[in-house]
Each structure stands twice: as C-alpha cells, then as structure tokens.
Chain A
Amino acid sequence: MLYLLNAKTLAERFRSAFLVDNRWQLYFQGLGNTLLISLFAVTIGVFLGFIFAMIVYTHSKTGKLKVLSFLSNLYVTVIRGTPVVLQLFIMYFIVLVSVKNGIVVGAVTFGLNSAAYVAEVARAGLSSIDEGQMEAGRSLGLSYAKTMLKIILPQAIRNIIPALFNEFIALVKETSVAGYVGILELGKVPGLIQSRTFDYLFPLLFASVLYLAVVYSLTLVEKCIEKALSRSDRNAGIKITGGRKKCRKAKSL
C-alpha cells in the first residue's frame, strides 16, 4: 500500500499512463469508437426492436402477421439465449467476414443484439396501453396504423423510457467485448497501455471514469426526456431532479 501512495512513483506512473507517446489520445480514440458503435447499435436496436414488438403486438390483438410474429419471437429467443461474445465472433469471422471495418461489424452485432431486448421492452410498453385507446382511435375513423402511430406508440414510449435507457446503458458497457475481435474501443485501451507500461492502475481507473461519464450523461438525458414527456401528468408541476437548464433541449422533443 505504501508503494501505491509514493508520490514520486505515482507521478511517474501517471506520466507513463497518459503522457508518454501521447497515450492519452488512445483513451479518447477508444471512447470515440465506443460511442460510435453504441450510437449506431442503439439506432438499429430501437428501429428493429420496435418493428418486432409491433408485429408481435399486432398478432396478439388481431391475429394477423402470424408468420412474422413467429419469426420475431424466434429471433428474440435466439439472440437473448446466446452470449453476445459468440454473436460477435459469428459476425466477425463468418457472416461479415468480408467487412474490413471492425466498427461496422461491432455496430451491426450490438444493434441486432439490442433489438431483441428492445423488442421485449417495447412489447411490454405496447401491452401496457389500455385497449380502449385503440378502440377510441378506430371508432373515430383512424386506421390501425394511424392509431398505432399517433395514440398507442407515444404512450407506450413514455411508459418504457426508464427500461429503454436501462438497455442503452447496458449496451454502452457491453460494447467493451468488441475488444475481443481487435476493435479499439474504450474497454480495450487499458490492456493495450498496460502491455507497454506493465501498469494497470491509471489506465483502468481512467477508462472506468470515462464509461461512468458516458453513462451518467445518458441518465441526465433520460431525466430530461422523462420530464418533457410528463407534461400530461396530473402532477406535471412537480420537479424531477435533473435541473431545468439541462432540460431546455429536451423540451422541444
């Protein structure tokens, strides 16, 4: 322990972890890739996940889309039933073997993986909406699709914001397994630097702080969105923690 606190060695270790060879850039390069993979993966995941959820929901309510609904359920079962590392290997070494860009492979893999989880979250959200809402929409002459889009989905999304962000947060951290196939993402950086300095302390600490910063930002965004969507609440006046200034942008959503 004394060794840990020795100021001189600490300064030296700090220097080798960040300053030598401009190593600090590696962390931010990794962070950039992590964010890039996460962003694309979330986009793919939300898009596909909601489509799967709507297919399954529509089948459960109307009996239509039987085959598609079966396939959606099968997809969710298979993706949730296998480890993401294996999915990544399958993508990287078999399915997308011709794709040279690791970031793309990562984004696709994590996006397809996330879609299965989002699908279940979204399905729960859709089922949480009272049937009377669909009936009211249809009785007013709105089509099924219009009612879904204008009435059911907005309410469902509002209900599942916390669960969705849970999934986003898990996803950001999960992308750290992309390091297994040589993608330079944030989780891989500490190992990379340790292999040159033989010292894990600062690299691990700093990479963790960066992950934490990303995740914390996400929770702030979540609070803002929740706040913006709570206008129709009975107690809309009650302040959700998160601060007003930060939420200014979210209000326009």
Chain B
Amino acid sequence: MQESKEPLIRTAGLKKSFGDNMVLDGIDVEIFEGEKVVVIGPSGSGKSTFLRCLNRLETPTGGAVYFQGKELTQDTDLEEYRRQMGMVFQHFNLFPHLTVLKNVTLAAVDARLRERKKLKLKTPKKQIVAEEKARAMKLLARIGLEDKADAYPSTLSGGQKQRIAIVRALAVGPKVMLFDEPTSALDPEMVGEVLSLMKELADEGMTMIVVTHEMRFAREVSTRVLFMDGGKIVADGPPQEIFGAPKDDRLKSFLAKVL
C-alpha cells in the first residue's frame, strides 16, 4: 500500500565527503510517511552524516534529496524546510541561557511570526506568544515536566533534558523526526524514559529516522532497519529480517558484536 504513495523523503546517489574522506558513498533510499526507520552500523559508517544531510546541517557533495517529491536546491527555503524535520541530538543541545519554556517556544514563535509576515496576517504578537506558550505547556505536561517550565536546563537530569529537546523539536510541528543517537549520552537509568517517549511518538504515527545503538528499540519499535557500513546502505529490511535472518556478512559480524 505504501509503495503506491510518494515517499516523504527520497535520496538519490547522496554523497558527502570531507576532503578526501568519503563518508557517504551514494545513498539511495525512500522513506514513506509513518515509517519508523532505525539506522544501525559501526561508528564512522556515516549514519549521523546521513541524518545531517537530510536536514541540510551538512551540505551533500553529490546526489540529491527529495522531500515530498520536491528536490532540495539552493533556492529551497531551508528554514521552512527544516521546520518539517525535527532533530534530536546526542548531546541535547538545549539553550542553557533560556528557561525550559523559552527553549520550547523560541523557534515556534519565530515560525509563526515569519508566517504572519509572509501572509500579512494581523494576529498580534502577544497572542501568538500566548498561544505558543499554551501549546508548549501542553507538550511539557505530556512528558510530566510542566513544573520545570521556568527552570533552566542546567538544573535538569539528562533524561529530562533529552525529553525536553524532543518536545522542543515537536513544538515546530515537524512531519518527520530525526534522532541522532538520542540515548548515547545518557546514564543507563535514564535511557528508558527517553525511549518510551520515542515509542509513544512512534505509536502516534510520527515518521521517524533514528540512529541508535539500542537494538531492543530497533527490534520493538522500528518498521524498518537500515544497516550502514562504509558510507553505504548494506542492508535494508524489516527488523525481523535484519535481526532474525541477516544475510550480509558485515551485518552478521556487526550484530554478533552488539547483540
């Protein structure tokens, strides 16, 4: 059924090199709405760079990225485009000088103000700020952190920080969420709370691309697993197939190490 639809994201021969170092060596992949894609692979295989090329934090050195059928070019409004793709980082990257609430509302308010300017709307700024605050409070309530709205990030635990980072990305209203090793910098006892929030998102139908080393999460939540090695996608399939009956030798030896 999904095959008949247009993919949300499609890459064609996507390449990225840093100097002589070829990190992505021709990635062709189609990702459809609602898919939960987990990207696994040894370190240095290009997983993070792949994610970062999708939302243009890195500029690819070759190939193309299509979003909803449209190719990203130099004329693409990158700010508008990035708002369709929430990104969650390994090190949270919350803004330490802003309160939790401001962290969540900053980009959302900015987006609304840009929209207002573009469409020449008359909505007062105060109203926009109030609306976004209310929305942010709802999102914070959802993760049980509404009492931290006025706290600064430095007073929070790693797990709380990452959940707020996820909420911050959601506040802009993305169509797809990119997770770049979201639990790798967390203490083991905090991994669970972040993964369960991600699982909730997945259950609600959010399209997700997750770079992770959490094989259990990959197995239980993902609908599709990409195995990358040497800048290429070596294996691509449902988790049962990737974990249950791996065909590729490199995948087999990788799984033997991490499972």
Interface residues of A (CB under 8 A from B): 130, 132-133, 135-143, 146, 150-151, 154-155, 158, 231-234, 236
Residues of B within 8 A of A232 (CB): 96-98, 152-154
**Partner pick for B93 among A133, A143, A231, A234, CB 8 A cutoff:** A133
In the complex formed, the residue of A with least CB distance to B169 is A140
Contact call B154/A141, Cβ cutoff below 8 A: no
B55 interface residue (CB < 8 Å to A)? yes
B248 interface residue (CB < 8 Å to A)? no
Number of contact residues on B: which range applies?
A: 20 to 34
Residues of A within 8 A of B165 (CB): 136
Docked Cα-Cα span, A43 to B87, in Å, equals: 39
Docked Cα-Cα span, A234 to B153, in Å, equals: 9
Contact call B97/A140, Cβ cutoff below 8 A: no
**Partner pick for A139 among B55, B94, B154, CB 8 A cutoff:** B55
Can you sample 23 A-B contacts with CB below 8 Å?
A135-B57, A135-B93, A136-B165, A137-B95, A139-B82, A139-B85, A139-B89, A140-B86, A140-B87, A140-B106, A141-B107, A143-B79, A146-B110, A150-B106, A151-B97, A154-B97, A155-B96, A155-B97, A232-B96, A232-B98, A232-B153, A234-B154, A236-B152
Contact call B107/A234, Cβ cutoff below 8 A: no
B80 interface residue (CB < 8 Å to A)? yes
Contact call B82/A138, Cβ cutoff below 8 A: yes
Docked Cα-Cα span, A122 to B94, in Å, equals: 22
Contact call A142/B110, Cβ cutoff below 8 A: yes
CB distance from B229 to the nearest CB of A (A): 25
**Partner pick for A151 among B91, B95, B169, CB 8 A cutoff:** B95
**Partner pick for A233 among B85, B154, B168, CB 8 A cutoff:** B154
B209 interface residue (CB < 8 Å to A)? no
B172 interface residue (CB < 8 Å to A)? yes
Contact call A130/B172, Cβ cutoff below 8 A: no
Q: Mark B169-204, 1 if CB is under 8 A from A, else 0.
A: 100100000000000000000000000000000000
**With A138-B82, A231-B152, A232-B152: A132-B106 Cβ-Cβ less than 8 Å:** no
Docked Cα-Cα span, A133 to B111, in Å, equals: 18
Contact call A133/B95, Cβ cutoff below 8 A: yes
Give the interface SS of chain B, mostly helix, strand, loop or mixed: mixed
Docked Cα-Cα span, A236 to B86, in Å, equals: 31
In the complex formed, the residue of A with least CB distance to B88 is A139
**Partner pick for A141 among B79, B97, B152, CB 8 A cutoff:** B79
Contact call B57/A138, Cβ cutoff below 8 A: yes
B4 interface residue (CB < 8 Å to A)? no
Residues of A within 8 A of B106 (CB): 140, 142, 150
Residues of A within 8 A of B55 (CB): 139
Residues of B within 8 A of A234 (CB): 154-155
Interface residues of B (CB under 8 A from A): 55, 57, 79-80, 82-83, 85-87, 89, 91, 93-98, 106-107, 110-111, 152-155, 165, 168-169, 172
Residues of B within 8 A of A141 (CB): 79-80, 82-83, 107, 110-111, 172
Top 7 nearest A-B pairs (CB, nearest first) are: A140-B107, A141-B83, A136-B93, A139-B87, A232-B152, A132-B93, A234-B154
Contact call B95/A139, Cβ cutoff below 8 A: no
Contact call A140/B96, Cβ cutoff below 8 A: no
Docked Cα-Cα span, A151 to B155, in Å, equals: 19
Contact call B79/A142, Cβ cutoff below 8 A: yes
Given contacts A136-B165, A139-B82, 7 further A-B contacts (CB under 8 A): A140-B107, A140-B169, A142-B79, A142-B107, A232-B152, A232-B153, A233-B154
Residues of B within 8 A of A231 (CB): 152
Docked Cα-Cα span, A142 to B154, in Å, equals: 23
In the complex formed, the residue of B with least CB distance to A136 is B93
In the complex formed, the residue of B with least CB distance to A231 is B152
Residues of A within 8 A of B83 (CB): 140-141
Docked Cα-Cα span, A143 to B106, in Å, equals: 12
Docked Cα-Cα span, A216 to B85, in Å, equals: 51
Contact call B152/A140, Cβ cutoff below 8 A: no
Docked Cα-Cα span, A136 to B162, in Å, equals: 13
Contact call B89/A132, Cβ cutoff below 8 A: yes
Contact call A136/B95, Cβ cutoff below 8 A: yes
**Partner pick for B82 among A132, A140, A146, A150, CB 8 A cutoff:** A140
Docked Cα-Cα span, A31 to B226, in Å, equals: 72
Residues of A within 8 A of B110 (CB): 141-142, 146
CB distance from B95 to the nearest CB of A (A): 6
Residues of B within 8 A of A142 (CB): 79, 106-107, 110
